[in-house]
Amino acid sequence: MEINLETASAAELKRWKQTIDWDDAPPGSLDQLNDLIIERTVEERVEASQNKLQAGTKAKQADEMAMRRWPELKDKESAFSKRVAELMAGPDAPSSLLHAANEVGIQMFGNGAQRVPPLNMVASGHSDNAPEFGDNFNDANFLKRTEKLQNLLVGEGLIKNDPETLARIAARAKEDTSNGPTA
């Protein structure tokens, strides 16, 4: 078993240590390896802690951005906030509040004019040129009409650009349109 002492993890070094006949090794080499294992273990734990802290900071920043971009989230009784909460509680929940809010934003505020909801105020909701409701809903047309908003949100890394995410957005929008417009 060959190993690169410069890049090997603590676990790899421990496994490698067990494959060596230390009776034939130069004096002090086992102690040096033990020191390296301890050093690598500490480095890995520090790096893991830093990564966890950074992930928490990014998640908090994403939540703050969601609250700025979608102020209706502050009103837990609003239709928008309730739909975001439902999406977050679902089995295919997006990875963050921001992703969920953006998906619901596409569903609720996408329209034929491809108007992007304002970033500093609540989107205006139903418009005169909004799509038909009920059986007239068409997933492909919906996704085409909301393409500009989708591209903006994907470009900012706020929703995933994959068929599953887009299908979930369209399906939820279809479900909502089957119930008729909401004020």
| Predicted confidence (pLDDT) per residue in 98-153, tens digit | 888 888 888 887 643 344 454 444 444 444 445 444 555 677 777 777 777 777 77
Helix axis angle for 97-109 and 29-69, nearest 10°, is 30
Mean per-residue pLDDT for 145-170?
79
- pLDDT of 176 over the 90 cut: no
Query: What pLDDT is stored for residue 183 in this prediction?
Result: 45
Instruction: Give every CB contact of residue 3 below 8 A, 6+ residues apart in sequence.
Output: 12, 13, 16
CA 87, CA 89: separation in Å to the nearest integer?
A: 5
pLDDT at 71: 86
pLDDT confidence of residue 113: 38
Query: Radius of gyration over alpha carbons of the chain, in Å?
Result: 26
Look at residue 91 in the predicted model and tell me its pLDDT: 85
Q: What is the pLDDT of residue 13?
A: 94
State residue 136's pLDDT score.
Answer: 57
The model's pTM: 0.43
pLDDT over 70 percentage in the chain: 79
Residue 122: predicted pLDDT: 45
Q: Are 154 and 136 in contact (CB under 8 A)?
A: no
